[in-house]
Amino acid sequence: MRKWHRWLSVFFAVVLLFVAVTGLLHYVAVWWPSAPPSAEALAAQTPPADFVCPEGWRCTPPRAEDGLRSSLGLIHHLHSGEEGGLWGAIVVMLSGLALVFFSVSGLWMYVAMWRNRRAKGLKGGAFWR
C-alpha cells in the first residue's frame, strides 16, 4: 500500500495543489467586494412595470463585474479542468479519486503502524514520536 501511496502522490500532488489553489481563487473572487452597480446599470436592468418577483426568489440586480470577479468564469474552468478539454476534466476527476485513495490508504497505513507499535509494546497513544 505504501508503494502505491508514494508513487501516485508524486503525480497527483501537483494536480491536487492546482485544484486547491484554483478553488481558493474561486471563493476569493466570489467574496471579493465589488463596486455597487452604477445608476445607468440599474436603470438598464429595471424590470417592466408588470413584473412581479416570484415567491421565494430574490430579485436584485447583479453585482458589478469588475476586478477579480470578472475572471470568475476562467477560474471555474481551470478548477474543473474544462480549460484542458476532455483530458483536463479526466485528470481532475482522477485527482478527486486519488484524493479519496490517499485518505483511505493513509488511514489504513496509520492504523497498521499503530497496531504494530502496540503489538511490540512500544509507546502507545494516538500520536507518537
Distance CA 97, CA 105 (A): 12
11 CA to centre of own chain: 18
What span, in angstroms and rounded, lies between the C-alpha atoms of 114 and 102? 18
Domain assignment present for 26 = yes
Contact 76, 26 (CB under 8 A): yes
**Residue 14 in domain:** yes
Residue type, 11: F
Looking at the domain assignment, is residue 87 inside a domain?
yes
Count of domains observed in the chain: 1
Instruction: Report the alpha-carbon distance of residue 47 to residue 70 in Å, rounded.
Output: 24
The rounded mean pLDDT for the chain is 80
pTM (predicted TM-score): 0.57
DSSP-derived secondary structure letter, 83 = G
Instruction: Answer yes or no: is 20 within a domain.
Output: yes
Q: Judge contact between 124 and 117, C-beta under 8 A.
A: yes
Render pLDDT for 83-112 as a digit per residue (tens, 0 to 9): 889 999 898 898 889 889 888 888 888 888
pLDDT value of position 87? 93
Higher local confidence (pLDDT), 53 or 90: 90
In a domain, 100, yes or no: no
Residue 112 lies in a domain: no
Q: What is the DSSP string of 17-82?
A: HHHHHHHHHHHHHHHS--PPPPHHHHHHTPPPTT--PPTT----PPPP--GGGGGHHHHHHHHHTG
